[in-house]
Copies of this chain bind each other. A is one copy, B any other.
Amino acid sequence: MYRYLEPAAWQGDGMSPVNLLVAALVVVASIIAIAETEAILASRYAEQFFMTELALFCIFLIEYCLRVYAAGEDPRYKGVTGRIRYIFSFWALIDLLALLPFIFYAGDHSGFFLRFLKVLRLLRIARLGRFSQAWDAFVHALGDRRYELMLSVMLALLMLIISSSMLYAVEAPYQPEAFGSIPRAFWWSVATLTTVGYGDVTPITAIGKLFAGMTAIAGIGLIAMPTGIMAAAFSDAFQVAKEKADEKRRLAESNNISE
């Protein structure tokens, strides 16, 4: 049973059938949690939603108990104290947290707290992290360039402050609501530097437009920099992977020759 539940203990390819089912149920549960926030759907299918939620809660509860029980086969979590230690391990806590919202949900709440609970139920998605061993190469490639990426974030912050200050200095008296202070100008500045450009706030003075144009052009640099760094990082990572594969092949070939 332990082999079926613990991703690292599974000897076959990919995930064990049990974990595959759990992952699929987590996806289903997440979709339901998202759909249920829509009042039209929530009121029309109230009963169906509740029954599915209840069923998923029971399945996840049983799965959680089995996981705690099966953890005993791992030498680290042997015995009762070992299992208590397992309960406080990272992924077990995530599993528990993902169970909790249903209990609260059974009660009667309203306003922000209710919405917060509904969003909390999306913590279920985090459970998928348990099954994913794929991000490693990705994270590694970016991690190697975290210094350069951090520098470009700092540069972005500097651009944000400079452009907000300029627009504040120029536009404040004409649009006090949007440019009345530097923090207020941040909203416009972020939208421009990221080239999102909502258009709900735009400068109206000629000099403000000049600064805004310069900000938009600086925004291209802001996008180009992390893109360039990432491209170089991925290119590097791919080449290292290829060289490793080449070396492996060459090693295998020289072994064949010497035999």
Contact = CB atoms under 8 A, between A and B. Distances in A.
Interface in A208-236: 209, 212-213, 216-217, 219-236
A14 interface: no
A92 interface: no
Given A196-B195, A213-B190, A238-B236, A112 B169 contact: yes
B196 A219 contact: yes
19 contacts: A35-B183, A38-B183, A122-B161, A125-B158, A156-B217, A187-B213, A191-B213, A191-B216, A194-B216, A194-B217, A220-B226, A223-B227, A224-B226, A227-B228, A227-B230, A228-B230, A231-B234, A232-B234, A233-B238
A119 interface: yes
Interface in A143-176: 145, 147-148, 151, 156, 158, 161-162, 165-166, 168-169, 172-173
Q: Which 5 A-B pairs have the closest CB atoms?
A: A228-B230, A196-B197, A38-B181, A198-B199, A231-B231
Contacts of A232: 228, 231, 234-235, 237-238
A162 B126 CA distance: 11
Contacts of A195: 194-197
A184 interface: yes
A31 to B, nearest CB: 10
B229 A234 contact: yes
Nearest to A180: B39
A45 interface: no
A212 B238 CA distance: 34
A182 interface: yes
A138 interface: yes
A16 interface: no
Contact of A169 (B116, B172, B192, B236): B116
B219 A225 contact: no
A134 interface: yes
A200 interface: yes
A180 B206 CA distance: 14
Given A195-B197, A196-B196, A223-B223, 15 more contacts: A30-B161, A38-B181, A119-B166, A122-B161, A122-B165, A125-B161, A138-B148, A186-B213, A198-B198, A223-B227, A228-B234, A229-B234, A233-B238, A235-B235, A236-B239
